[in-house]
Structure formats: C-alpha cells, structure tokens
C-alpha cells in the first residue's frame, strides 16, 4: 500500500512585523505550530478574550478590497488572503496565526515574504493523513456579468480572465496548472495593485492607509508608477491567481478541481465555496499517495 501524503505544520514559532495595507498600523504577526486536524486558526492578541477564528468559508464576513474574517465586528481580521495563499503554497494544514492588530501585514504586497517566514520556521510532517477536497459536480455562481465555477478534475488548475478596461492592463485570459514548484516560482512574487486615480478615494473612506510603492503596484493613466516596473510581464493576472488560491484555501484543505472564472474577486470566490458546501454531493474528502502527480503545493 503506497505511503500517503501527511499533514504539515511549522517546526517552531516565528514572528514578523509590518504595516497593515488598509489600517496603516504596524502589526506583529506570529505563526505557531498546531496539532494535526486543528486547521488554520487566527487570534487577535490586542483584544482581551478575543475569539478563535478558524479558516472556513463561513468565517468570511467582508470582501471589500480584501478578505476579512470574524463574526464579531470588533475582532475582525483583514487581508488574510496573501498569508492563506502562502500557507497553501507551502502545504501547511495546521497553524496558529496570532496578531497584534486588525489585519495581516502587507509586507511587499505578494505572498513571497510569508513563504520566507514559513521557510525560516521550518516545515514538519505530522502523523495524520492530509485531506484533499475533490470536486464531484459542476458548481457555478454568477454576479453582475461575472462568474466563478468549479468542475471535476484530478488536479488543481485555474482559468482566469481579467478585464480592467485600462491601457496598462490589457484584457487577459490564461490557464494555470498549480503543481510542485510552480506556485513558488511563478505566483508567490506577484504583487497586489491599484489605480493611482482610486488611491485618494480609498484613503478618504479609511482604506489603503498603509499603501505605497513598496507594497503595491500603482497604475497611472498610461504606465506603471513603480520605478522598477513589473516582476512578471503578466504580474496582474498572476496576482489574481495568488488571491484566488488564498480565498479558496479558506476551506482549510487543498481543492482538486478545475476553477474557471471571469472577472472574479474575493466575494465571488467565497460565494462559490459556500455554494459547493451547501450540497454534500458536490465534494468529498480523499487522500493521495506521496508520488501523486496531482499534488498542488511544494513537497
């Protein structure tokens, strides 16, 4: 009988501080090892008796410009998608995420810094078998001319389309096969982005207060403002993939299926997850052997 892929956590506690993209506050982030089958759990330490928030679709309570979790408005945690994406890319199943503040630090606007943090902590296998969620039925959600859907597939792949009607960001459609080192090399360094014309409005309503050229791509009317330009020629759609992976990993397990979307965002991604889990016939848990070609993260 082949050896099955095991669950993973980090070897030791590790911390880092950085600015929150929307709050503008310096936030300390700590990752701690967690027991098998405990999942990804968030907790704010700056609030007395704060709740534990587990990564699951129902924990998402706001999706305006980021993925925010927590049912208690006073204890919510924002901008979790880049960290969740990095945890997925490293194959981490169980970890405790502690914060001194209201959102995950933005660091450089990608998930690369989180992956370095996880690497510095080290990764350890646990005794329990890793659970994958296999999509069994076609599930689709639509909203204002946008859609997101999953169809059955033995591996995890994505078809994305973006269209911002802007001369700097052409309409793009691309398929991504998420396996092995691909995430680390081709997705993790893709940064979040915004339009220069929107920054003033966002800051006027209390968003993007910590944003700048060191943690986001800023797009002007006819060019990227960042003096060093783009990390990838198609960095914009690659960051959308990074976001989608983080949003989808809110189920707490890697998904095996084909994700297809047109102009999707955090809200539609979460709506799709909730629709999938509204019917137990849409999915099932499976395990995979260590030599499986379907493994969608770094081994």
Torsion over CA of 240, 241, 243 and 247, rounded to 10 degrees? Answer: 130
Q: Which of 201, 244, 199 is nearest to 217 (CA)?
A: 199
Q: What are phi and psi of 111, to 5 degrees?
A: -105, 5
* Three-point CA angle 15, 126, 246, nearest 5°: 55
Phi-psi category of residue 143: left, alpha or beta, with phi > 0 → left and psi -120 to 50 → alpha? beta
Q: Which of 22, 5, 10 is nearest to 212 (CA)?
A: 22
Helix, strand, coil shares of the chain, percent, nearest 5, are: 25, 35, 45
C-alpha distances out from residue 273 to 44, 252, 266, Å? 25, 11, 11
CA distance linking residue 292 with residue 155, whole number of Å = 10
Assess whether 253 carries a catalytic annotation. Answer: no
Catalytic residue among 239, 253, 258, 266: 266
CB contact at 8 A, 281 and 164: no
- 100's tokens: 């001194």
CA distance linking residue 25 with residue 27, whole number of Å = 6
CA distance linking residue 296 with residue 155, whole number of Å = 7
C-alpha distances out from residue 250 to 58, 207, 273, Å? 9, 23, 9
Q: What are the catalytic residues?
A: 266
């Amino acid at each position: 009988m082949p050896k099955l892929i095991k669950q993973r956590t980090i070897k030791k506690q590790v911390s880092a501080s950085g600015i929150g993209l929307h709050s503008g506050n310096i936030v300390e982030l700590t990752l701690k090892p967690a027991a098998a089958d405990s999942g990804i759990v968030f907790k704010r330490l700056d609030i007395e008796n704060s709740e534990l928030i587990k990564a699951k679709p129902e924990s998402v309570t706001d999706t305006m410009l980021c993925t925010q979790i927590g049912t208690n408005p006073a204890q919510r945690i924002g901008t979790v998608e880049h960290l969740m994406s990095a945890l997925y890319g490293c194959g981490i199943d169980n970890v405790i995420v502690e914060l001194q503040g209201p959102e995950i630090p933005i660091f450089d606007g990608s998930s690369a810094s989180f992956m370095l943090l996880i690497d510095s902590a080290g990764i350890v296998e646990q005794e329990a078998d890793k659970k994958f969620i296999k999509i069994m039925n076609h599930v689709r959600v639509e909203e204002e001319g946008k859609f997101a859907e999953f169809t059955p597939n033995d591996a995890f792949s994505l078809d994305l389309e973006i269209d911002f009607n802007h001369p700097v960001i052409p309409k793009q459609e691309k398929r991504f096969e998420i396996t092995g080192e691909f995430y680390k090399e081709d997705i993790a360094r893709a940064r979040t982005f915004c339009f220069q014309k929107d920054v003033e409005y966002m800051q006027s309503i209390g968003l993007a207060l910590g944003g700048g050229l060191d943690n986001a791509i800023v797009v002007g009317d006819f060019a990227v403002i960042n003096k060093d330009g783009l990390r990838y020629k198609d960095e914009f759609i690659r960051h959308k993939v990074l976001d989608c992976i983080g949003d989808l990993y809110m189920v707490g397990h890697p998904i095996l299926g084909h994700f297809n979307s047109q102009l999707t965002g955090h809200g539609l991604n979460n709506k799709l997850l909730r629709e999938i889990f509204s019917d137990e016939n849409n999915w099932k848990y499976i395990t995979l052997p260590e030599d499986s070609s379907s493994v969608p993260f770094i081994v």
